[in-house]
Amino acid sequence: MRCFLAGLGVLTIVSFGRAEGPLEQTVEQLAERSRKSVVVITTPGRDESRRGLGAGFILSPDGLIATNLHVISEGRAISVELTDGRRFDVTVVHATDRAADLAVIRIDAKDLPALELGDSDKLKDGQAVVALGNPQGLKHSVVSGVVSGRRTLEGRSMIQLAIPLEPGNSGGPLLDRFGKVQGLLTMKSAVTENLGFAMPVSALKPLLAKPNPVPIAKWLTIGALDPEEWQSVFGARWRQRAGRILVDGAGKGFGGRSLCLSATPLPALPCEIAVSVKLGDESGAAGLVFYSDGNDKHYGFYPTNGEFRLTRFDGPDVFSWKILAQKRSENYRPGEWNAIKVRLEKDHIQCFVNDQLLIESTDAEYTSGKVGLAKFRDTVAQFKQFQVGKNLKATRSEAEALRERASALERQAADLRRQAQTAREKAVRDELGKLLALDEDKIDLAHAALLIAKLDNDELDVPAYRAEIDRLTRKLTATLPKDAGETQKLAALNKFFFEDRGFHGSRADYYHRSNSYLNEVIDDREGLPITLAVLYMELAKRIGLKMEGVGLPGHFVVRQLPAQGEPRLIDVFDGGNGLSRDEAAKKVEGTAGVEWSDDFLKPIAKRVIVARILHNLLNLAGGERDLDAALRYLDVLLALSPDAGRERFMRAVLSFQVGRKAAARDDVAWLLDHKPTGVNLRDVRELKKELERE
């Protein structure tokens, strides 16, 4: 699960031997001393609902920062956040090199903690290095590894790294163990998560020697509004794309207010202004302004928190504005395009939502001025079909109306599917919880394993597969001679299970979720050591053989407990072959890479076996970046073990990533209140800061 946790500063430490000189630093020391020099860089994405995020590092105390060119996205606004939480807009793109994918930017700040540049030409294969960045949208992680070679990619010599890099690491520094920058992290390998690349710092130095500065005003070319048609007031980011005007970022006016005023003059009264608006979040506020003096004084009509306001702004602060009317409209369609219109007559204002009159006012404080658009707070909004005229007609076509209705129905269907999924998950959690609350000898382990599979497959017929296990039991029993002893029963079980039925360990497709679903193991007769063992132990129990699970690190086996004689380890994954202690130790060292301990031979409870299956699925979901599935498994694990701090922290991080902010906050609050062992509370507090920024 490193991919989900690295962004919160979870430190991965790899030992590379003894230090060779007094100046060499440990990973912990490098993290402590260098992290404050790493910055978070954000840019608006082409899809306005998303934002780019990457890393950079401070080159000079007066505000020069190095990163990748692809991180700053040519022609877009660029923001930089320091580790102390301060945010700056980039003022100058100081230098760029498209071929090397490098950029140097400047912010208006002083006394910044800069990193020292090293000599990447002297970097050796096998040399220990440390990468700093912001993987997976989270911030300030530290990961260690080694230089594994040099590779020419797209005509450029790159440093190849045996180190796990993720999206968001781009632009971060690659440090040697003396704290000097040897490269800029630049791309992740598509082959393995433990292979990455960095651009040598030697390619950066020519940009510092001969920069090509571009002021940010000239850099911002993508989607720039025509200044002859629009004038923005109070900041925020106004731009156009595909005939729409888009805005995000808080304005500098009262309440995060920002205006975008049209050059189109108002005709003689009566007249109308109209626009279609769509909010990125219904808690936002954005709409029309009219009778504006080009500054703080104007009227506004806009949706906010599901209602509509007609407001008069008389100045720059909270004491100089007045809500003239606030009403809810039954014609408003949350999350969709909505047509809003203001009709201006002498001493009379009418406000419409989707062609239906909603608000009227006789307020006449202002009777002339500019018209345009407004947004408030941190709202992300889109506008289209802005019009000024005498009698404006609805511009919403029949095709658009049908499209909007189809979108509404699709959202309703998606919501119903989510509700059904939630109900199924709760039902499975409840049933599994009741089952595992029984005494150990009364827990039906096969039933529990089938319930785990049902988490991901609503159509799974658990009773049908329990009946199939009954059928297998009958067929196995039919092969037993009368008065069969334990030795005969074990031989019959192995022959039936491995030879007659062909159950075997999955080797060609080991890392597939099907191997963790007991129903598919029964269907395909192929599975992981633990799922094969669950079925094997169930059949053994039904013919009178006593078995228990043994959770060797990296490899699950079972142990037969005969009435007489020594217990025997059995490797179900390997055709039921017996294992000696030495063979078990060799297998553990080969699969898990850990030193043997006799504690590994202790039996594990059925509840622990269930948790181990869930953790296998959790790891697979992590590797596939299936966050929704990972959250399903974590919800069940925490329902079974509410005090599991590590799993609760994982769930908090994943909830943050998929937008379940309330759930993430609840888990963070629990962690800070209970302070469980095994959880770095500094990481929890970092996540709390991220949530507070949202």
Lookup: tokens for 160: 């190849």
Pairwise pLDDT comparison (48 vs 212), residue with the higher score = 212
Q: Is residue 403 in some structural domain?
A: no
Q: Is residue 130 in some structural domain?
A: yes
Which DSSP helix (H) or strand (E) runs through 569? strand 568-571
Instruction: Count the neighbouring beta carbons within 10 Å of the beta carbon of residue 625.
Output: 12
Residues 160 and 300 in one domain: no
Q: Is cis: bond before 200, omega within 30 of 0?
A: no
Whether the pLDDT of residue 173 is over 50: the answer is yes
Across 214-228, 462-476, 482-496, least confident range: 214-228
- State the Cα–Cα distance between residues 170 and 583, nearest whole angstrom: 45
- State the Cα–Cα distance between residues 528 and 501, nearest whole angstrom: 16
Whether the pLDDT of residue 167 is over 60: the answer is no
529-578 confidence digits (pLDDT tens): 999 999 999 999 999 999 999 999 989 999 999 999 899 999 999 999 99
What's 603's DSSP letter? B
Residues 444 and 389 in one domain: no
- State the Cα–Cα distance between residues 342 and 273, nearest whole angstrom: 5
- State the Cα–Cα distance between residues 638 and 620, nearest whole angstrom: 18
654-691 confidence digits (pLDDT tens): 998 888 889 999 999 999 999 999 899 999 999 998 88
- Cα-to-chain-centroid distance, residue 605: 33
Q: Is residue 420 in some structural domain?
A: no
Residues 66 and 146 in one domain: yes
Q: What percent of the chain lies above the pLDDT cut of 90?
A: 56
What's 465's DSSP letter? H
Residues 167 and 290 in one domain: no
Nearest residue to 82 via CA among 134, 39, 32:
39
The per-residue b/e assignment along 248-281, b for 16 or more CB within 10 angstroms, e otherwise, is: bbbbebbebbbbbbbebebeeeebbbbbbbbbbe
- Cα-to-chain-centroid distance, residue 319: 41
Nearest residue to 47 via CA among 259, 182, 246, 190:
246
pLDDT value for 630? 92
CA dihedral 636, 637, 643, 648 (to 10 degrees): -90
What's the predicted TM-score (pTM) here? 0.53
Residues 207 and 240 in one domain: no
Q: Is residue 637 in some structural domain?
A: no
Q: Is residue 616 in some structural domain?
A: no
pLDDT value for 15? 31
Q: Is residue 629 in some structural domain?
A: no
Report the pLDDT averaged over residues 278-286: 89
Nearest residue to 223 via CA among 244, 251, 204, 203:
244
Residues 240 and 212 in one domain: no
pLDDT value for 393? 77
Instruction: Count the neighbouring beta carbons within 10 Å of the beta carbon of residue 392.
Output: 17
Report the pLDDT averaged over residues 478-496: 94
Residues 467 and 546 in one domain: yes
pLDDT value for 249? 76
Q: Is residue 239 in some structural domain?
A: yes
Across 227-236, 243-252, 657-666, least confident range: 243-252
Report the pLDDT averaged over residues 2-11: 38
Nearest residue to 473 via CA among 449, 493, 453, 446:
493
Whether the pLDDT of residue 168 is over 80: the answer is no
Whether the pLDDT of residue 402 is over 70: the answer is yes
- State the Cα–Cα distance between residues 585 and 188, nearest whole angstrom: 36
User: The CATH number of the domain where 68 resides is what?
Assistant: 2.40.10.120
Out of 224-238, 242-256, 422-436, the most confident range is 422-436
Lookup: tokens for 15: 């030992």
Residues 33 and 153 in one domain: yes
What's 498's DSSP letter? I
Lookup: tokens for 58: 């401070």
User: The CATH number of the domain where 524 resides is what?
Assistant: 3.10.620
List the domain range (segments joined by +) for residue 686. Answer: 642-693
- State the Cα–Cα distance between residues 96 and 101, nearest whole angstrom: 8
- State the Cα–Cα distance between residues 513 and 17, nearest whole angstrom: 38
Whether the pLDDT of residue 18 is over 60: the answer is no
pLDDT value for 139? 56
- Give the strand order in the sheet containing 555-560: 547-552, 555-560, 568-571, 577-579
- State the Cα–Cα distance between residues 691 and 683, nearest whole angstrom: 13
Q: What is the DSSP string of 216-233?
A: HHHH--TT---TTTEEEE
Whether the pLDDT of residue 197 is over 90: the answer is no
Whether the pLDDT of residue 637 is over 80: the answer is yes
Work out the pLDDT band at 166, boundaries 50, 70, 90.
low
Mean pLDDT (the chain) is 87
pLDDT value for 12? 29
User: The CATH number of the domain where 260 resides is what?
Assistant: 2.60.120.560
Q: Is residue 417 in some structural domain?
A: no
Nearest residue to 96 via CA among 106, 105, 107:
105
Residues 247 and 363 in one domain: yes
102-159 confidence digits (pLDDT tens): 999 999 999 999 999 999 988 888 898 888 876 544 456 778 888 888 888 767 788 9
State the total domains in the chain: 4
pLDDT value for 113? 94
pLDDT value for 50? 46
80-89 confidence digits (pLDDT tens): 999 888 989 8
Residues 212 and 284 in one domain: no
pLDDT value for 306? 86
pLDDT value for 390? 92
Residues 210 and 235 in one domain: no
Work out the pLDDT band at 409, boundaries 50, 70, 90.
confident
pLDDT value for 222? 58
Residues 205 and 276 in one domain: no
Report the pLDDT averaged over residues 254-263: 92
Pairwise pLDDT comparison (300 vs 151), residue with the higher score = 300
